[in-house]
Structure 1
Amino acid sequence: MAQVINLQAGDRISLVCRATKKGNGVSINEHFFFPTPIGTVSDGMISEPDAYAKALTQELANHGMKNVTEVNVCLASGKTATREVVLPKLKDKQLASLIKSNADEYFPVDMSQYKLSYTVIGDEEEVVASKSDGTEDKDGKAAAKTTTRSTGKQRVLIKAAPKEVLNSYVSLSQKALFHLRTIDSAQNALYQALKNVKLQGTVMYVDIGSVRMDCTFLKDGKFVMQRSFTYGGDEMIIPYIERQGMTEENYFEAFLELTNPEKNSIEKDLAEDLLSRCVSSITRAADYLRTTKNMQVDGIVLLGTCAHLPFLREAIQEQSGIDVAFIENIKETAPLVNGSADLARYLSCASCIIDSINLTPDAYLANKAKKGFTFGGGTSDSFMVPIIIAVVLVAVGVVLGLMSVLGYLSKKQELANIQTEMEQLKPAKDAYDAYISYQQDSDSLDVIKNDAGGNNKKLRDFFEEIEAKMPSDLLVMDAQCNASTVTLTCQCQDLDGVANVISDFRKFESIEITNVSVPTISLDKSETGEKTENFTITATLAPDGSAANPQTASSDGTTSDGTTDSSTTDTTTESDSSAQ
């Protein structure tokens, strides 16, 4: 849950409190004030965000508020400008557009450097009747009772604040890691706190700070006007420091002494002299109301950090002739501060949450609306966001770790299942390996079979054919065979037999004759002593399924295609010569 503080950064003294809405007002809870580091705040602007943020966070820690995540700013600055205008009654968006379009008429400055905001303070009224109520004012004139009615228009209080001042609080929120909820003007915050107070007559409320005073005039709870002055309690505090031989570093000490009746020892004449400018300004403001609006101030109420400076209340009452009281001492206003002078310092600061005019820079608001938060520049939970991010990262890490573990276990189980299946398939693998081995052996046998069956078959075919067709007068003396050829050494009785044998061989389908040697005559070594013709035939084994000798040779050596076999002819001739 976000812990929220309200902050009013003064040039000399800074106020911090926690407040909650209570009906139409606020309830002030924890609170403290501390000396603003010298040079860090100038007329409400944070000129040194780093140094001020460091001091603020340290003070928060010292007061048990170190877990603060959000801040509401109450801006008290003389650099802001206020203008009251009367405008038609319009819806909020239309009214804002009208104010923006006429801004240059309301404020003679470069409006690009300012942010505008507004608050509606009531209907415009006109006097319809006036009569004496039987009383006299302080000048002895008869007081009149007036009757008014609405004109149908509304009174609007427009505030213009320099962006430079507003952005200084954005920088502060970034340095202190706060989310910037709203920036309200101290004048508006005080008006919002007082507008529901049922205090009759015209009352002037004076919020007195160290370097400024804000005067708000209400009549029967209705807004009349506001006046501001750029000086305040320092009119007394700074001279007091000098008189006491102190330095600027002793400012806070001097402030505490002067605002504590039991400790201050300043003389009345000196006090009235030091406070004369403040007193005369308050008196002139009351006179201004009387002369411009024809209204008599019925009472002056003091509040703020320097309201209790010695002899201030008495000096104002003496010079103005108007009853002056502290806000905590009036029955109608005491509930605002629980009747406490201490809490009276914080009323403006605490009331910036009631109905803020929200001067927060547009760029900051746009960034907030776009992103939902602006980490490093104020978040809705400046400390929670990093924690949430860390938790998310840890959760993501845990999830990824679990996913990795589950993935590992899953893969491990898959591996175990695969190993089980491999064990179950081992017999099938063995059978498959045996089949592959058998197939390889079978292929090898087929190769051997083919090799064995090729040329051997050719030879077998040849010998079967020679056995079936061999001439009766042929005698095969020798046979030499290899994978492709056959060489036969033959013997016949005469050349006619040789011719017939050669002719018959040419008709064989299993061979193709490639050469025939010249016949030679030899004597038979047997007892008969007959002559024989010896010759050699070389043939090529025929391819499977084809006839080796499609041609046939005639007995005269002529083939069937009409060519002459020269080897046969020559052999015959030679044989004949030998015989002769």
Structure 2
Amino acid sequence: MASKKAVAIEIGYSLTKICEVDYKTKAHKIYKSFTVPNGAEVINDGALMVSPEYVENLQRALAANHVKTKQVVFTITSSRIASREVTIPYVKENRIADVVNANATDYFPVDLSQYQLAYTILGTIGETKGAQQYKLLVMAVPSALLTGYYDLAKALKLEVAAIDYASNSIFQVVKDECAKGKHIVVKIDERSSLVMAVENSVLTFTRSVSYGFDEIMETVMNTLCWGEVSNVEQAIRVLQRNDCIVPETGEDSESVGAGEKSAKDRAQEDVFDAVMPLINGITRVIDYYASRASGVAIERILITGAGADFKGMAQMLARETNMPVTVLKEAAGWNLMRNFKNECFSEYIACVGAAVAPLDFKREAEKRGKDKKAKKEGTSQGTNWAPLAYTIFGVGLVAAAALAAVPLISYAQLTKTNMELKAQAGSLEDIIPIYNEFVETQTRYTMTEAMYRTTESRNEELEEFLGELEDKLPSNVNVISLTSDQYQVTINMRVQTKDDAGETVEQMRSFHSLIPEMVTVTSLVEEENEESGESTINFTVTAAYQVVGYEPEETDGTETEGMENDGTDAAAGDAAVTAE
């Protein structure tokens, strides 16, 4: 039986990537691959604006490459696609969609009649069979966003087989390559990048970075250092073949005077400045994932997409992340080197993966179409049961009228309420981007706060401690030396009598920055001046700091006084024991 083929299309801001591949087969075969310049801008954050010129360009390209396949699979990326990680009961896989649809309003508080849902299984939680749950990534795409792709398919006289999400398309290619251990996959596109984590062939994390290589291309196109570059394709080839991205440029620039720099040096510095926002954005997401993930460390970072093949890009990312970075040129189960002999595979990774196991955002619409077709076919064949059906219908109609009389008014009220709630939910649809931004900002704040807490120590409050020491110590205490680290402080002091030493210890136990029970006298020596005959007490106190952020509890005056008296006795006792 001949394999079923499909045309896989990914539409970028400047270029459209097209592959002719096998559709939903275990053996992955790529027949053709080519790119088509978009001309005018046809896409904005995943929303497609079909123009006659763009359709004509695609038709010419398909004809020139002898592509006769009539089924098309689109893979898309958009910030308007909402996603949530959820857990559901461990049901049969063919029942997962029912569970997701039943709880969809909890995941996405919008009018879901305007959205198409899809999901992918991230894994299972729990070890025992009764306690297991599915962990899913559920996505909701606006139906309006899909309209442009259906329009394009119609204009090209193609049938939409599926519409996939780019992260799933990429995952289908790399899942066998990442069968063991924890890996990061980064797809670098023109205006955005996608960061994914794959652990033991399971997609565990996905985030979008709002930086791509468009500024890098623009920088190369604005300089004549590598020749005249007039379009995106030329800029990409220049970046792939020349040392435009030099990781060391930023370090050495200060040591060379402006007059001594060559045109190439200055151009490389400009490219370096354009690359850094992208690198920093990717690094922040990887750091965030590493702070959340536990267990096995990240083995490597695989980079793909058109920007992955830029010379120096992998080295730059490796330097900033301090992790091994590899350009994805081959994947387990795919003979990529044979299929992409004369061109870079990274540009087409989402295309070739889209036809493997697409999420299929159009599944619900397809199902409705099939149901209508089945009903139509059912009415045109078989035995004529019309007389019996009319009899049963008449009896049922009388019974239904009687049963419906009472709840009819209640149903009308509920219908009205339902419509009002849908209208209210629709009016709140614009809050989704704001909510997503809030969640992302809150996550960054939490991560930053956690990082800051790890750097805090009591040494930061040493000035405050010294002020407290000056205010509370008796005036006749002479501090000889003080040593402090982030855990404790050691003070060597001299006083006239042992009572003075006890009072000093008592006062130190009242410091809010010290743990009272951990203020101890480690040595006490009585010294006598041979000339004057006066004696002095030389003693050392070691005290442990309270944890950072500690605030003393408020107590009434009676309890405080009692504690102070106890502290006096204890301090005097410590001094006496040490003296003996």
Give the TM-score of the pair, scaled to structure 1. Answer: 0.55
Among 336, 358, 361, which residue is 1:359 paired with?
361
Among 216, 232, 239, which residue is 1:251 paired with?
232
| 8 Å contact from structure 1 (residues 85, 155) kept in 2 | yes
Partners of 2:159 and 2:25 in 1: CA distance:
25
Whichever residue aligns with residue 17 of structure 2, its letter is L
Whichever residue aligns with residue 260 of structure 1, its letter is R
Structure-2 residue corresponding to 1:235: 215
| 8 Å contact from structure 1 (residues 124, 150) kept in 2 | no
Whichever residue aligns with residue 174 of structure 2, its letter is L
Write the deviation string for residues 394-442 of structure 1: whole angstroms up to 9, x where unpaired: xxxxxxxxxxxxxxxxxxxxxxxxxxxxxxxxxxxxxxxxxxxxxxxxx
Structure-1 residue corresponding to 2:194: 214
| 8 Å contact from structure 2 (residues 193, 208) kept in 1 | yes
Matches within 5 A, 1:17-416: 17-20=19-22, 24=26, 26-65=28-67, 67-92=68-93, 94-125=95-126, 151-243=131-223, 250-261=231-242, 267-294=267-294, 296-328=297-329, 335=335, 338=338, 340=340, 342-360=344-362, 362-363=364-365, 366-367=368-369, 370=372
Quickly say closer, same or farther: Cα 1:250–1:194, change in 2 above 3 A.
Answer: closer
Displacement after TM superposition at 1:158 (Å) = 0.7
Write the deviation string for residues 308-341 of structure 1: whole angstroms up to 9, x where unpaired: 1232111100000000011116x85874555956
Whichever residue aligns with residue 326 of structure 2, its letter is A
Quickly say closer, same or farther: Cα 1:152–1:338, change in 2 above 3 A.
Answer: farther
Whichever residue aligns with residue 38 of structure 1, its letter is A
Partners of 2:72 and 2:230 in 1: CA distance:
28
Quickly say closer, same or farther: Cα 1:282–1:214, change in 2 above 3 A.
Answer: same
Write the deviation string for residues 359-418 of structure 1: whole angstroms up to 9, x where unpaired: 12744653466459xxxxxxxxxxxxxxxxxxxxxxxxxxxxxxxxxxxxxxxxxxxxxx
Mark the structure with the bigger radius of gyration.
1
Partners of 1:119 and 1:228 in 2: CA distance:
17
Q: Which runs of 5+ in 1 are unaligned?
A: 127-147, 373-580
Partners of 2:200 and 2:186 in 1: CA distance:
17
Quickly say closer, same or farther: Cα 1:301–1:268, change in 2 above 3 A.
Answer: farther
Quickly say closer, same or farther: Cα 1:63–1:150, change in 2 above 3 A.
Answer: farther
Displacement after TM superposition at 1:216 (Å) = 1.4
User: SS of 2:187's equivalent?
Assistant: strand
User: SS of 1:159's equivalent?
Assistant: strand
Displacement after TM superposition at 1:104 (Å) = 2.6
Whichever residue aligns with residue 158 of structure 1, its letter is V
Give the TM-score of the pair, scaled to structure 2. Answer: 0.55
Whichever residue aligns with residue 269 of structure 1, its letter is E
Quickly say closer, same or farther: Cα 1:63–1:280, change in 2 above 3 A.
Answer: same
- Compare 78-87 and 248-257 and name the one that shifted more: 248-257
Whichever residue aligns with residue 256 of structure 1, its letter is R
User: SS of 1:357's equivalent?
Assistant: coil
How many percent of aligned residue pairs carry the same amino acid?
22
| 8 Å contact from structure 1 (residues 124, 155) kept in 2 | yes
| 8 Å contact from structure 1 (residues 271, 310) kept in 2 | no
Write the deviation string for residues 76-103 of structure 1: whole angstroms up to 9, x where unpaired: 2222122111111223454223212322
| 8 Å contact from structure 1 (residues 13, 210) kept in 2 | no
Quickly say closer, same or farther: Cα 1:290–1:262, change in 2 above 3 A.
Answer: closer
User: SS of 1:26's equivalent?
Assistant: coil
Displacement after TM superposition at 1:153 (Å) = 0.9
Whichever residue aligns with residue 16 of structure 2, its letter is S
Structure-1 residue corresponding to 2:544: none
Partners of 1:160 and 1:83 in 2: CA distance:
9
Partners of 1:339 and 1:68 in 2: CA distance:
18
| 8 Å contact from structure 1 (residues 8, 349) kept in 2 | yes
Write the deviation string for residues 53-83 of structure 1: whole angstroms up to 9, x where unpaired: 2221111122222x33211111122221221
User: SS of 1:182's equivalent?
Assistant: strand
Partners of 1:333 and 1:214 in 2: CA distance:
23
Q: Which runs of 5+ in 2 are unaligned?
A: 246-263, 375-580
User: SS of 1:173's equivalent?
Assistant: helix
Partners of 1:74 and 1:232 in 2: CA distance:
18
Partners of 1:97 and 1:310 in 2: CA distance:
48
Write the deviation string for residues 132-151 of structure 1: whole angstroms up to 9, x where unpaired: xxxxxxxxxxxxxxxx9994
Displacement after TM superposition at 1:35 (Å) = 1.5
| 8 Å contact from structure 1 (residues 328, 339) kept in 2 | no
Matches within 5 A, 1:456-467: none
Displacement after TM superposition at 1:171 (Å) = 0.7
Aligned length: 349
Whichever residue aligns with residue 199 of structure 2, its letter is K
Partners of 2:193 and 2:291 in 1: CA distance:
21
Partners of 2:318 and 2:244 in 1: CA distance:
24
Quickly say closer, same or farther: Cα 1:263–1:315, change in 2 above 3 A.
Answer: closer
Quickly say closer, same or farther: Cα 1:260–1:28, change in 2 above 3 A.
Answer: farther
